[in-house]
Amino acid sequence: MPSLREMADAVTSGAADPEAFVQEALRAIHGDRERDVPLNAFLSVDDEAPVRARDPVPARPAERPLAGVPVAIKDNIATLELPTTCASKILEGYRSPFEATAVRRLKAAGAIVVGKTNLDEFAMGSSTENSAYGPTRNPRDPSRVPGGSSGGSAAAVAAGLVPAALGSDTGGSVRQPASFCGVVGIKPTYGMVSRYGLVAFASSLDQIGSFGRTVHDAAVLLQVMAGHDPLDSTSAARQVPDLLSAADGSARGLVVGVPDEYFPENLDPAIRALCDRALAALRDAGAEMRRVSLPHTQYAIPTYYIIAPAEASSNLARYDGVRYGPRPSGARSTRETYELARSRGFGDEVTRRIMLGTYALSAGYYEAYYGHAQKVRALIARDFLVAFDSGVDVILTPTSPTVAFRIGEKIHDPLQMYLSDIFTVTANLAGLPAMSLPIGSIDGLPVGGQLLARRWGEPTMIRAGAALEAALSLGAAAHPGG
């Protein structure tokens, strides 16, 4: 499959028909659905998408860097042509009256939305098993999860159903599935991409991110989406840097931080070895390695799982059978309407997090839980600031402590599931940009390495990611099977 740049260049030059690209994607999606064991990556498909691909290409092709490119959208991001269900029964069939700014910008750049992808219900999960419409499977091994909560988007790109997709990342929901599926996933700095049209989970943590098969492809989507949006009060009024030039840069002169806390003694030795190989590749490409410490990392998971459920409890209060969600028949009071609508509409994981969050915000417990968590969040952010101020340009860590686990393996053990995010939640708590890219595999299952940069440090992060991608590719070519 060609890169996004090659696809768009072929369309704008007249060498390729954009409708053909879209038709090819639709055939692949429908073909997967007809398999004995489908991936279940898509919740809805727009069979009218080829019609929109017939729109004429403007005279200035640079205005359409995604001309004719078929893309998939995670089903918690609002679209006009297709439902936005958040993989929940409470929003079954819901159609948004407006479109997310990120989607609108992709379409303005020439992208064609071909479908909406599966996810953990309301983006709450790390495996895409919590969907009301069944789990998504990992293209590398259908007996395993693709990660979550953006598992449908990651699986769709990894399987070649679409060349690129959007996801959302609240605690690692772009990066962890990117790692499990062997693709690139980017979570931008908080405020770089508009959240308008993203169904809120935890408003101070959520960001829309991108999936691609290469660093450059994922960066193209981010370049198009980024920028201030007056419809989102958390959107930063900053000029968008040139991310694509950064993707053509080298590692020479970069200082890469290696945090002790992300390489504990009990880390899988095979994952550690692949991270060491990635660090060696960057060193050989001209980067300098430096050990750093992020001492409050050990508090990241408890901090995240207080703040995120607390904000979810508030955000999901609107799904009550009156404002959103089907109104249950037979309810004899407003209270009973709420109880029936929510108990029938929400799955177990969403219910669990709402209850946790409501407790953390309740009278007498707010300061003990939510208040303290916000203070620790500030300490985690300060750790990163100290590390970057010491001269480090990017930090490299594993993306996940494991490879993709088997479907059903952790679904009944919430704590083990939550620990899947142990290396990713810190970027959301600190508002930092982070990305996952493939650094190797273990028994055929992909392993991702995570790069983090200071706030608004996307150009440096993408430069490092592209350099690492190139270095590992050259190393693989020189040492087949290594």
Secondary structure of the chain in the HEC alphabet? CCCHHHHHHHHHCCCCCHHHHHHHHHHHHHHHHCCCCCCCCEEEECCCHHHHCCCCCCCCHHHCCCCCCEEEEECCECCCCCCCCCCCHHHCCCCCCCCCHHHHHHHHCCCEEEEEECCCHHHCCCCCCCCCCCCCCECCECCECCCCCCHHHHHHHHCCCCCEEEEEECCCCCHHHHHHHCCEEEECCCCCECCCCECCCCCCCCEEEEEECCHHHHHHHHHHHECCCCCCCCCCCCCCCCHHHHCCCCCCCCEEEEEHHHCCCCCCHHHHHHHHHHHHHHHHCCCEEEEECCHHHHHHHHHHHHHHHHHHHHHHHHECCCCECCCCCCCCCHHHHHHHHHHHHCCHHHHHHHHHHHHHHCCCCCHHHHHHHHHHHHHHHHHHHHHHHCCCCEEEEECCCCCCCECCCCCCCHHHHHHHHCCCHHHHHHCCCEEEEEEEEECCEEEEEEEEECCCCHHHHHHHHHHHHHHHHHHHHHCCCC
- Respond yes or no: is residue 74 known to be catalytic: yes
Of residues 44, 74, 150, 313, which has the active-site annotation? 74
Examine the residue annotation and report whether 187 is marked as an active-site residue of this protein: no
* Catalytic-labelled residue, pool 127, 131, 149, 420: 149
Of the residues 44, 168, 173, 194, only one is catalytic, namely: 173
- Residue 149 is among the residues annotated as catalytic for this protein: yes
Q: Enumerate the active-site residues.
A: 74, 149, 173
